[in-house]
Amino acid sequence: MVRDIVKFGSKALRQKCQPIKTVNAQIEALIEDLFDSMRAAEGVGLAAPQIGMLKRVIIVDVSRQDPSHLPLALINPKLVKAEGKEITEEGCLSFPELYGDVERHTHVTVEALDTKGEAFTVEAEGFFARALQHEIDHLDGKLFIDFISPLKRQLMRGALKRLKKEGEQWDKENLAAK
């Protein structure tokens, strides 16, 4: 099911998410919703808090940029090795149409559980590595704008203000109801 992707300003984006203890049907449904929502928004990755679920689950799909990588779901992902550094522009589905230069590692190793609850390791570089780092950050409430230059952030001020209102409104309508 395609879910709302929450915007900057929502409290959901600033929380530390909970690890998954058991990979069950509920988690499988969450992953399906993440894929549906990411594809509808034409993104390359999505983290559970972006649809308001404070769980350590992310998906990454860079298959359009690099067909050698299949779409991937990672449960409890953990960055275990990171090397090299590179500054490139990136964006986020919680910040539509905003982009900024962010320094990321060029090579990373990530450990996670798959949809069957089995542990696996993924080694990534370049754009794939960047997408993984960006999504894992979401699970600790870290957002790409935390890393951009103060000047760039200043330039985005008006857009951020508008987004913040949108995120706060979503919280009012959705978090209060729970």
Query: 10 Å Cβ neighbour count for 170?
Result: 19
- Give me the amino acid identity at 20: I
Tokens 């780092």: give the residue.
Answer: 133
Q: Least distance (Å) from Zn ion to the CB of residue 25?
A: 26
What whole-number distance in Å separates Cα of residue 12 and Cα of residue 53? 8
- In the bound state with Zn ion, the residue whose beta carbon lies nearer, of 20 and 139, is 139
135 given a catalytic annotation: yes
- In the bound state with Zn ion, the residue whose beta carbon lies nearer, of 113 and 134, is 134
Q: Least distance (Å) from Zn ion to the CB of residue 7?
A: 11
- The residue with its CB nearest to Zn ion is 92
Q: Least distance (Å) from Zn ion to the CB of residue 93?
A: 6
- Give me the amino acid identity at 98: L
Q: Tokens representing 30?
A: 């969450």
Q: Least distance (Å) from Zn ion to the CB of residue 94?
A: 5
Sheet holding 57-60, edge to edge: 45-47, 57-60, 72-83, 107-113, 119-125
- Report the interface residues with Zn ion, using CB under 5 A: 92
- In the bound state with Zn ion, the residue whose beta carbon lies nearer, of 49 and 75, is 49
What whole-number distance in Å separates Cα of residue 18 and Cα of residue 95? 23
What whole-number distance in Å separates Cα of residue 105 and Cα of residue 82? 6
- Give me the amino acid identity at 142: K
- In the bound state with Zn ion, the residue whose beta carbon lies nearer, of 23 and 46, is 46
Question: Of 135, 166, 168, 173, which one is the catalytic site residue?
Answer: 135
Beta strands in 33-162 (DSSP E): 45-47, 57-60, 72-83, 86-90, 100-104, 107-113, 119-125
Active-site residue set: 135
